[in-house]
Structure 1
Amino acid sequence: MQQQLSTDGESLLFELKMADIMANLKTFQPEYEEGTSETLLRLGSRAKGLAVNGCAHAVFFCKLLKATRQKEESCKEVPLYSLEPESKSNQSLKIGIIGGGHIGKQLGRALLELSGISGYYIQISTRRPETLLEFQMLGVDCYYNNRQLVSWADVVFLCCLPSHLPHICLEIQDAIKEHCIIYSLVTAIPLPRLMQLLPSKAILRPQYTFTDDDPIDIWVTNRTVVEALKNPAVLQVTCPCSCTGGIIVNMKWLAAVFYAALNSYSWQRLSYAKTLLLLNQVCFPENFVPASAEQPFLLAENFINQAFASSLSPDDTFPWFDLTTVQLKKSPFSQLLATSTLLQDNIALFYYNMMTENLGESMPDTSGIPLSAVLLKPPKALSDGIDGSYMGDVEQASSTDSEET
């Protein structure tokens, strides 16, 4: 157990269930030190750490996706404080959660308190909706109808038991909207298997790795996930570009998050030039200068190969990206993330500021180097070896990445 776990962090579901059980065992509490096994303390810390990281990254993803729609939504006349579904703008991000157990509740609380998304844009489907009174009082629709939830939502979080997942996927697969993103927190089911269960190319599934020097105190200091995510020190170590907390998320997941943002803009029929302009304004508002719109920080060739980027006309949209392939194969953006520590530092700043925008916190930018230094002149490695290979990878994804049943 002291050794590094697999990239799936064993089973997130099992760990979170263990965290729930251990909440009532005094031997797992921070104040219980004398005579406590270090191995048991580490297990409890990792379980709590997985819960905190999983919820933090889900909230970050929803806030970024919501921000991609706010730019267009701000031009519309929407009645202030209106809570009626008929008054909701079509651009509003609608979030569905399948599963109202430990994971679903933790995620629901984190979204309600930290994402800035109203409960009237969140729905939960669970076998026991009567146990979710706290959510219903905040405007969340709670019921048991997975197909209804999937046909309504823009993002669906899978928070069910692994044994229930095949049946749920069979039930919802023909109700998923074209632009709907399925975000799985059931890490016992690998991404290739999810691709078999669901006919969707928009599946996100974070994969976590433990380092040998993972700390114990940082995760168990706060009693709940929401309390932990209100702690600036905890937020810093949950950053996808950080490894100081002992839990690392796959960088290809982070790349897929940005490709999902591009898909969101394309779904709104925005040109690739407008998309890049808005995405840069969302991600780097302090550094981005509108006058430099002709040379934004993020360029088309950071996401697609240069030959394809040069063929785009100003009114063209980005192609619709296969998010599952982005997580399974190398992409231009994942290569840039892997080679540019400067980009990682700036994304870390963006992550922290976005996660603390409702908490009155800020983190100073200590890099002292403009982001344009690396992105206006992408590394040579970004252009070499991308000559059509990425587009080919996308086309071959369904045949090369499938898993035997």
Structure 2
Amino acid sequence: MESGDSLSLTHSLPSLSFEAPLTEEEKTFTQSIRVRAWALTLCACAHAAFYCRLLTAMRCKVLDEAHFPNSWLAKYQILKSNRGSLKIGLLGCGHFGKQLVLSLLQLTHLSAANITVSTRRPETLSVLTDLGIECFYDNKRLATSVDVMFLCCLPSHLLAVSSQIRGSISESCIVYSLITAVPAARLKNLLAHSSIVKPHYSFHKINPWSKVWITGKSPIEALADQEVIEMTSPFKKADLSCVDLKWFEEVLYSVLNFCHLLQVPYGVTLNMVNSLLFSPSEGLEAMDNPVLFTCESFVNATCIQSLSHSSLFPWFDLSSVSRRKTPLTKFFLLHPRLQHPLSFVYRMSMLKTRDPPETDGCCGH
């Protein structure tokens, strides 16, 4: 008997199936739970990939700027040698973690050499190690060596994990938490670290997701479909979006923090952000009187008064952004038309296939 033949003996016996004792109502409920879990995986992978692409693009813009103050030329040389490439780490790698790694490889310019994984059972990740990804079990080592650390461990493991890495996370490292039901404020206390991005997901209507789930596609396969990409877009009306727009506020403030570390003057930072998100390119025509980010979009009037031409944006506590109204919150409310260009940037980013770079790194230098 060939492998798997024994399982086929029960194929025509529905009474032995897992869902046999369930009522139709219970079956509908369990299916909705599965659809939500699948949709959560899909959206989390898409948004994580978009974030990595955005942060990488900003790093590359910093490298391309010619006017660097001599006081931080050394930092520029360090960045230059790394060619803008992000170092990504996953802490925890179950089923979702594997999907996330594969999505990052497919939807970004990250190579396997840019990704490391720390998990209690690295020997089970042959599918990743065969791709060239380094997998080990040393959470502290991971926390000290990456630019973005995705927390993918179980909530029940969080206390143990936080005790292992507390105090070891680099100041420049962004902790991107995908642990459900644990708010950013709690993570800040556990990790003694404030650079935390924590998306909040909700699915108001499950029917559109059910239609895609029934096809049996993996997240990567589904995200090759332009209609599915549009479904995952964060830049839609609140009752249609799967993620709170606060997530994008955290993303933008984390970009400003990155520029703060490299001593980029706030005016240069604003120009680069606006150029990255609103410059006409790849089929996007220039908007009439486009609404661009200004200093007031990110900081209050008191802070603006203290800024000089060479000043930096202040360092932002990302864990506070998710639970407080910020100048950026007001800016998005006043300018809902921003959703159109941002949605376009998101779609174009997700539709790009990952072509092997001609040179090492991701900036083409």
The alignment's TM-score, normalised by the length of structure 1, stands at 0.72
Aligned ranges for residues 170-249 of structure 1 at < 5 Å? Answer: 170-212=163-205, 214-215=207-208, 216-242=210-236, 248-249=242-243
CA distance in 2, matches of 1:253, 1:196: 20
Partner of 2:41: 51
The secondary structure found in structure 1 opposite 2:202 is strand
The secondary structure found in structure 1 opposite 2:82 is coil
Partner of 2:272: 278
What is the CA-CA distance between 1:141 and the residue it aligns to? 1.2
Do 2:185 and 2:320's aligned partners in 1 also have CA atoms closer than 8 Å?
no
- Could you tell me which amino acid in structure 2 is paired with residue 322 of structure 1? D
Q: Determine which of 277, 298, 302 is the counterpart of 1:303.
A: 298
What is the CA-CA distance between 1:26 and the residue it aligns to? 9.5
Do 1:208 and 1:249's aligned partners in 2 also have CA atoms closer than 8 Å?
yes
| Residue segments in structure 2 that go unaligned for 5+ positions in a row | 1-16, 67-79, 283-289, 356-365
Do 1:222 and 1:228's aligned partners in 2 also have CA atoms closer than 8 Å?
no
What is the CA-CA distance between 1:308 and the residue it aligns to? 2.0
What is the CA-CA distance between 1:199 and the residue it aligns to? 0.6
Do 1:201 and 1:322's aligned partners in 2 also have CA atoms closer than 8 Å?
yes
Partner of 2:149: 156
**1:251-305 CA deviation, whole Å, 9 max, x = no partner?**
21111111111111122211111111111121123179xxxxxx98211111111
What is the CA-CA distance between 1:244 and the residue it aligns to? 9.3
**1:109 and 2:102 are equivalent in the alignment:** yes
- Could you tell me which amino acid in structure 1 is paired with residue 319 of structure 2? T
**1:67 and 2:63 are equivalent in the alignment:** no
The secondary structure found in structure 2 opposite 1:156 is strand
The secondary structure found in structure 2 opposite 1:318 is coil
What is the CA-CA distance between 1:312 and the residue it aligns to? 1.4
**1:257 and 2:247 are equivalent in the alignment:** no
| Residue segments in structure 1 that go unaligned for 5+ positions in a row | 1-24, 28-33, 77-86, 289-294, 361-405
What is the CA-CA distance between 1:129 and the residue it aligns to? 1.4
Partner of 1:372: none
Do 2:58 and 2:272's aligned partners in 1 also have CA atoms closer than 8 Å?
yes
Tell me: CA distance 1:217–1:88, structure 2 relative to 1, closer, same or farther (3 Å).
farther
- Could you tell me which amino acid in structure 2 is paired with residue 355 of structure 1? M
Identity of aligned residues (%): 37
CA distance in 2, matches of 1:263, 1:112: 25
**1:133 and 2:126 are equivalent in the alignment:** yes
- Could you tell me which amino acid in structure 2 is paired with residue 55 of structure 1? C
CA distance in 2, matches of 1:326, 1:190: 12
Tell me: CA distance 1:182–1:301, structure 2 relative to 1, closer, same or farther (3 Å).
same
**1:169 and 2:162 are equivalent in the alignment:** yes
**1:181-234 CA deviation, whole Å, 9 max, x = no partner?**
111111132223212211111111111122146422134435211111111111
**1:337 and 2:327 are equivalent in the alignment:** no
- Could you tell me which amino acid in structure 2 is paired with residue 117 of structure 1? L
Do 2:106 and 2:353's aligned partners in 1 also have CA atoms closer than 8 Å?
no
Do 1:277 and 1:296's aligned partners in 2 also have CA atoms closer than 8 Å?
no
CA distance in 2, matches of 1:281, 1:155: 23
What is the CA-CA distance between 1:124 and the residue it aligns to? 0.3
User: Max radius of gyration: which structure?
Assistant: 2
Aligned length: 317
Tell me: CA distance 1:26–1:229, structure 2 relative to 1, closer, same or farther (3 Å).
farther
What is the CA-CA distance between 1:163 and the residue it aligns to? 0.9
Partner of 1:39: 29
Do 1:302 and 1:336's aligned partners in 2 also have CA atoms closer than 8 Å?
yes
What is the CA-CA distance between 1:339 and the residue it aligns to? 3.4
What is the CA-CA distance between 1:245 and the residue it aligns to? 9.3
**1:120 and 2:120 are equivalent in the alignment:** no
The alignment's TM-score, normalised by the length of structure 2, stands at 0.79
The secondary structure found in structure 2 opposite 1:47 is helix
- Could you tell me which amino acid in structure 2 is paired with residue 235 of structure 1? I
- Could you tell me which amino acid in structure 2 is paired with residue 252 of structure 1? K
Do 2:102 and 2:220's aligned partners in 1 also have CA atoms closer than 8 Å?
yes
Tell me: CA distance 1:287–1:169, structure 2 relative to 1, closer, same or farther (3 Å).
same
What is the CA-CA distance between 1:44 and the residue it aligns to? 1.9
Higher RCO structure, 1 or 2 (CA under 8 Å, sep 6+): 2
CA distance in 1, matches of 2:240, 2:300: 34
CA distance in 2, matches of 1:176, 1:183: 12
**1:313 and 2:308 are equivalent in the alignment:** yes
Tell me: CA distance 1:173–1:210, structure 2 relative to 1, closer, same or farther (3 Å).
same
